Structure 1
Amino acid sequence: MSAPAFAAKLTLIDHYKFEIDFGEFGKIITDEHEPVGHGDGPGPSQLLAAAVANCLAASLMFAIRKFKGDPGQVTATVEGDLERVEGRLRVTSMKVDLNLGQVAAELDRLERALAQFEDFCVVTQSVRQGIHVDVTVRDSSGQILKSPE
């Protein structure tokens, strides 16, 4: 059997607070938000949202760099919605805004990069099996380069 592609170890600290050990990458503390937990760290839904946004940002950078472009200082923000589905809270949608550190005119073959970068994102494409994810991309001037279809 081959080694797993990724791993993390969770240890309960108190109540709903966990330490997550990423091995050589360090440890973080997570906690459920009130009223269940105390909100002493990001909760699982925030970690999921961060993973989606991080993967999309990295995929966009990869797609631009593939064509020898420099995306500049890329930033991302992500918001999510929780709704009751069959009586239980579920993450039902996320909205990710990606911002490039360059104006569009400075990036060759940007249209091709924008057309394909989401397909490179393992996390988002996996999550989209059950959660709606909208993605907007802007350049450094604020011009919308890609918006939800």
Structure 2
Amino acid sequence: MSEEGRFSIALEQREGYQVNVAFDWPQTPDLLLDGEPPLGECRGPNASRLLAAATADCLGASLLFCLFKDDPPAGCLRAEASCVMTRNAQKRLRIGQLEVRLIVTEAVTQSPRFGRCKDLFEEFCVVSASIRQGIPLVVTVEDEAGEVYYRSE
């Protein structure tokens, strides 16, 4: 598979289950992630909440770009994301379903492109399209010297 682009972010465990995320854009502030009790203290979103937010944001941005390209009107879209947590056969917690609601104003529904875009925008959301198809994942565990202890295939 060819790479169209690549980015890297850095995560560092701080205290307990709190993790600082440093993004690759210098103007973007760091983000604190945390688990929910009994592991964490909910001082930041956990990974499941971040995935739900990323999915809703991507879908909303895809719709706005299709409709308005570079100049969407302010305040014309809100989104709500719900994550249904389930347990698999091994009783491990998983994201069983994501539900995203895009709530739009008249500026969106009255756009001349709305009829076409409402049927097309999902195809251009990188996050939701990737989740639906499954994302190949390679996981490596190594020490600070670079010695690899584990690598998934």
Same fold flag (TM > 0.5): yes
Query: Per-residue deviation at 1:65?
Result: 1.6
Equivalent pairs counted in the alignment come to: 129
For 1:101, the aligned partner's letter is T
8 Å contact from structure 1 (residues 119, 125) kept in 2: yes
The aligned residue for residue 124 of structure 1 is 128
Whole-angstrom CA distance in 1 between matches of 2:109 and 2:126: 28
Whole-angstrom CA distance in 1 between matches of 2:57 and 2:64: 11
For 1:75, the aligned partner's letter is R
1:64-103 paired onto structure 2 within 5 Å: 64-66=67-69, 73-86=76-89, 87-102=91-106
Whole-angstrom CA distance in 1 between matches of 2:45 and 2:128: 19
Q: CA RMSD for the aligned pairs?
A: 2.5
SS of alignment partner, residue 115 of structure 1: coil
The aligned residue for residue 61 of structure 2 is 58
TM-score (norm 1): 0.77
Q: List alignment gaps of at least 5 residues for structure 2.
A: 135-153
8 Å contact from structure 1 (residues 59, 117) kept in 2: yes
8 Å contact from structure 1 (residues 71, 101) kept in 2: no
Higher relative contact order (CA 8 A, sep 6+): 1
For 1:5, the aligned partner's letter is R
Query: Per-residue deviation at 1:101?
Result: 2.7
Query: Per-residue deviation at 1:129?
Result: 2.9
Instruction: Encode CA deviations 1:59-79: one digit per residue, 9 max, x unaligned.
Output: 00011125x985852111101
The aligned residue for residue 114 of structure 1 is 118
SS of alignment partner, residue 119 of structure 2: helix
SS of alignment partner, residue 128 of structure 1: helix
Query: Per-residue deviation at 1:42?
Result: 0.5
Q: List alignment gaps of at least 5 residues for structure 1.
A: 131-149
* Structure 1 residues 19 and 72: CA distance shift in structure 2, 3 A: closer
SS of alignment partner, residue 13 of structure 2: strand
